[in-house]
Structure formats: structure tokens, C-alpha cells
Copies of this chain bind each other. A is one copy, B any other.
Amino acid sequence: MTGRDGGADLSPPAGESPIIVLVRPQLADNIGAAARAMANGGLFHLRLVAPRDGWPQPRAWRTASGADRILEAAAVFPDVASAVADCQRVLATCPRPRHVVIRTFTARGAAAELREACGRGLRSAVLFGPERAGLTAEDLARADSLVRYPLNPAFMSLNLAQAVMVLAYEWWTAADATPPRTLVTNETRVATKGELDGFLGRLVAELDAAGFFTNREKMPGVVRNLRHLFERAEVTEQELRTLHGVVTELSRGRMRRGRPDPEA
């Protein structure tokens, strides 16, 4: 993780992030895709327990899509016991309830727990089982907690790299402060109510001059509805200038053609 040459910048963020342990993975494609998902979520430490087809395998680099350093730094262990021997917190992902008594987290709960453990300086690991069989009861007995994703119980077939993705995503999100909803405005800014009022006043005056309000009694309601539309849209200052231009141009056209026939 200290090299500076080539590849995307995968330097781990400050503080230690959990180790992802793939237990007896079968497909190199999945190992590479898992590494890619780890990089997406800011996880950088990969351990492999007895990969079926040995290690390293070039196919993994093909699906890692640039997360090469994670694969290059991956450590291989013969069994789960040795892979977690230096860890103080071990979570095991397992979709199905078993005959065990164990603390169980959702993916989100696990991410919060891992953030807390890392904040306390604990070395943490998360176990992911092999593609078909999942973790054995013996594997699970090495973990202090279970992680069970809340997902559709009618379709439990979760790809290994997808399972890593969900955890990596929750790990990243647990420390992310992005508001759930924002308005991206780039260079411009949302118009003030005064600016919007100035535009609406002009629009109504031009509409009135064009003979739009044939029923004067209904005019205040129509104006209010137009106002609601523009208020809701969070118009920006730049868009208001465009809208002013639109009104100017349409009014000019009207003046060039003379007042249109109200019956037309």
C-alpha cells in the first residue's frame, strides 16, 4: 500500500480499515471483482484462505479493473484460524440462520461496529464464504459476530463480489456526511425569492398586456398556480435570466405581429 508507481490511488484513509477475508474462494474472477468492490468502498486489506485454484491467478487482475495493489498485497493463509490469528474482532457474513448463539448485525450495523472497533484501534476482519457452500459451522465459530444482509429472502443467491460490495459500500457510507438530497447548481446559485418575484411580476404583466387573462376574477388563482410551479422548481439565478430572455423574445414577437386574436 506504500508504492507510488502506477494504478489508481488506493492509499488507505487515516486509521486502519477492516481486513476482507475470502474463505476458500473458487473463482479468480470473483477475487478480482471483490478487490474492485473493496477499492470502491475504501477497503484495502485482502486475505485469501486456501483459494481453490491457487494464488496468484491472472484472471483476478482482469476483473479487478485497476485495484491491482489490493491483489498484489493479498496474503494467503491455509485456514481461517491462521487468517484471523492477529485480529481482535472477527465478523462472518452468513445469509442463513444456523444453530448458533451469536451476535448478529445488519450490513449497516456491522459497518458502524467496524468503524467503532477501528476507532478503538482494534484489528478487525470480515469473513466471506466460498461461492456455493458459504462458511462452515467451524468457520463461524471463529467469529465473534455474524453479518446478515437484509435482502430479498425469496432470492438469496448473492454473488461473492456483490456481498463484498454491500459491506464496502456500508463501510464507506458510515463515515460519509453527504446529505441524502441536495441541489447541484455548479457555477450558478438558487435564485432568491425577490429575484423570482421580479420575474413573475414581469411575466404576469406581459401576459396581461397580451390579453391572457380573459377572466379577471380567475386571474389571482392562475397567477398563484404559476407561482407554485416556479417555487417548486428551485429556479436558479441563471435559469431566471434565461426565462427573462424567453419572455422578452415572445413579447417582441407579439409586438411585431401586433396583438394576436384572443379567439385564435
Confirm or deny: A159 has a beta carbon within 8 angstroms of a beta carbon on chain B.
Answer: yes
Report the minimum CB–CB distance from A18 to chain B (whole Å). 14
In the complex, chain B residues whose CB is within 8 Å of the CB of A99: 186-187
A152's partner among B40, B152, B154, B181 (CB-CB below 8 A) is B40
The residue in chain B whose Cβ has the minimal distance to the Cβ of A39 is B155
Interface residues of A in 62-116 (CB under 8 A from B): 65-67, 97-109, 112-113
The reply to whether A150 and B162 contact each other, CB–CB distance below 8 Å, is no
Report the minimum CB–CB distance from A232 to chain B (whole Å). 11
Confirm or deny: A165 has a beta carbon within 8 angstroms of a beta carbon on chain B.
Answer: yes
> Chain copies in the assembly?
2
Confirm or deny: A249 has a beta carbon within 8 angstroms of a beta carbon on chain B.
Answer: no
Q: A135-169 CB contact bits vs B (8 Å, 1 = yes)?
A: 00000000000101111101111110110011001
The reply to whether B105 and A37 contact each other, CB–CB distance below 8 Å, is no
Question: Given A162-B161, A186-B101, are A41 and B181 neighbors across the interface (CB < 8 Å)?
Answer: no
Confirm or deny: A173 has a beta carbon within 8 angstroms of a beta carbon on chain B.
Answer: yes
Report the minimum CB–CB distance from A150 to chain B (whole Å). 4
Size category of the A interface is 35 or more
Instruction: Label chain A's interface by main secondary structure.
Output: loop
A101's partner among B154, B173, B236 (CB-CB below 8 A) is B236
The reply to whether B172 and A152 contact each other, CB–CB distance below 8 Å, is yes
Confirm or deny: A225 has a beta carbon within 8 angstroms of a beta carbon on chain B.
Answer: no
Confirm or deny: A178 has a beta carbon within 8 angstroms of a beta carbon on chain B.
Answer: yes
The reply to whether A101 and B152 contact each other, CB–CB distance below 8 Å, is no
In the complex, chain B residues whose CB is within 8 Å of the CB of A109: 179-181
The reply to whether B40 and A184 contact each other, CB–CB distance below 8 Å, is no
In the complex, chain B residues whose CB is within 8 Å of the CB of A183: 101-104
Question: Given A180-B109, A181-B113, are A100 and B186 neighbors across the interface (CB < 8 Å)?
Answer: yes
A97 to B186, CA, bound (A): 8
Query: 10 shortest A-B CB distances, which residue pairs?
Result: A109-B180, A39-B155, A150-B176, A42-B152, A9-B154, A104-B184, A109-B181, A65-B157, A162-B165, A150-B178
Contacts A101-B185, A103-B184, A104-B181 given; 10 further ones with Cβ under 8 A? A36-B159, A37-B159, A42-B151, A66-B155, A67-B155, A102-B183, A102-B184, A104-B184, A106-B178, A112-B180
A interface vs B, CB < 8 Å? 8-11, 33, 36-37, 39-42, 65-67, 97-109, 112-113, 146, 148-152, 154-159, 161-162, 165-166, 169, 172-173, 176, 178-188, 234, 236, 238-239
